[in-house]
Chains A and B, each alone.
Chain A
Amino acid sequence: MADLALGRLGANPIEAILNRLGFWTLTLLAASLVPTPARSLLGLSWPIRLRRMLGLFAFTYGTLHLLFYVGVDQGLDVALLAKDVAKRKFMTVGFAAWLTLVPLAVTSTDAWVRRLGFARWKRLHRLVYLAAILGVLHFVWRVKADLSRPLVHASVIGLLLAVRLLPARRARRASHPSAAA
């Protein structure tokens, strides 16, 4: 963002901004997947306090990325967006990823956890896994030939999803019963 004010975004600043917003969306989303395994595998509980904020930041950046594309890159041509989302695979999954995050953002508050009950809320928020996968596909399908950058996100997110299949560290759980929830 300092780059923006300083004009260091290069010859095509609109493209540069769009790409950066997308990069941060996916990166923040990946970061929001870290606290849960950090607790279940490493016994760390402080990252959980950051989880909601990371998720909401990811949603914010995702919304900015979408709005920037529609509003700035394509000059508010909503008809064009509708056609694009239908026709271009990478945009379909990108838009679907954002849509998936909407209910998660809405229900991110404590009030909603209470309203849904923790078990249901937890099940709903597993949708973040779908959003992350769709986000990675969006990135992979967008690049022209060099897959190295989207594959970094793909591997990190893949790892963070796979790690949830590992058994939690029972020893920690047993000796710290108050760490539950």
Chain B
Amino acid sequence: MRRFRPDVGERDVTPESLWLRRREFLALGAAGAAGLVLPRPARAGEPTGAALQIARRVEQAGGEDPTPWDSVTTYNNYYELGTEKGDPSRNAGTLRPRPWSVAIEGEVARPGTVGIDELLRWFPLEERVYRMRCVEAWSMVIPWVGFPLAALVKRVEPTSRAKYVAFRTLQDPEQLPGQRRAVLPWPYVEGLRIDEATHPLALIAVGLYGRVLPGQNGAPLRLVVPWKYGFKGAKSLVSIRFQKERPKTTWNEAQPSEYGFWANVNPDVDHPRWSQARERRIGEFFRRKTLPFNGYAAEVASLYTGMDLRREY
């Protein structure tokens, strides 16, 4: 009988730590092979929260499937509630959407402060299904509930000196603990030119999937401008100010070379650190081509004729 001679040496022995975690390593391999990196299928994540009364429905996302409620309400950029995507949904408990009032200020014939519940009675609510494209190159399709910003603008009668509209988020570190760190120069401010604010697509959203807007999505009311990058959609609004000068917007102030005032979705104008030509639709595996003005070019391109969109980004 031949003497058994091992052909493996001490050195070839799998390190114990690796051996103890072998199942994880195998799972990773198998998962990769089986394509388990595909996002999990839309669970029956039922929307929660009080139902809103909706007068009419407008589908404006080319008939594409809306992003599941779970994703829309747990994958958020709302740095006032934490800078990781999962933070806002975890930390939204401190935000108190009642009592809440919004100040309508500046160059308007009818300024004033209005309580949110009264504001909700000013206009019938609509469901608007819009694409939403984040500057980080991911996107969703979201069925917002709200009323056209144009209706609000018309009601408050801006004067001829009102060239821009500024939107300001709540400043209160107790409700928005992320404001304790100067990650961005709080409070969050965004703005629109007056013709953008009166465009039929611009929306003040108070709900989502037929329910009251969750904290992490900007309760109790937020701006939605579907042809611009998502950071234009200021959340938890406390002030809407009409003014002559262009407002200093927060991301532009924080990183002017990367975030502009206009922020129109444009596949031809890259972010300095990444390309804007393609985006990941949440729920899909492969990236898709980004469309000019997020697919709303037919409706809004005329607002920008004559503007060099590479310079005015």
Contact = CB atoms under 8 A, between A and B. Distances in A.
A12 interface: yes
Interface string A21-59: 000000000000000000000000000000001000000
A145 B287 contact: no
B280 A14 contact: yes
A5 B31 contact: yes
Contacts of B71: 10-11
B309 interface: no
B27 interface: yes
Contacts of B31: 4-5
A90 B273 contact: yes
Contacts of A102: none
B86 A10 contact: yes
A146 B79 contact: yes
Interface residues of B, number: 40
Of the four ranges (under 10, 10 to 19, 20 to 34, 35 or more), the interface on chain A belongs to 20 to 34
B85 interface: yes
A34 to B, nearest CB: 15
A15 B287 CA distance: 12
Instruction: Tell me the interface secondary structure of chain A in the complex.
Output: helix
B70 interface: yes
B274 interface: yes
Interface in B22-50: 24-25, 27-28, 31, 36-40
B183 A146 contact: yes
A4 B36 CA distance: 8
B83 interface: yes
Contacts of A110: 11
Given A1-B24, A1-B27, A145-B83, A74 B184 contact: no
A7 interface: yes
Interface of B: 11, 15, 17-18, 24-25, 27-28, 31, 36-40, 67, 70-71, 74-75, 79, 83, 85-86, 136, 138, 181, 183-184, 254-255, 272-275, 280, 282-283, 285-287
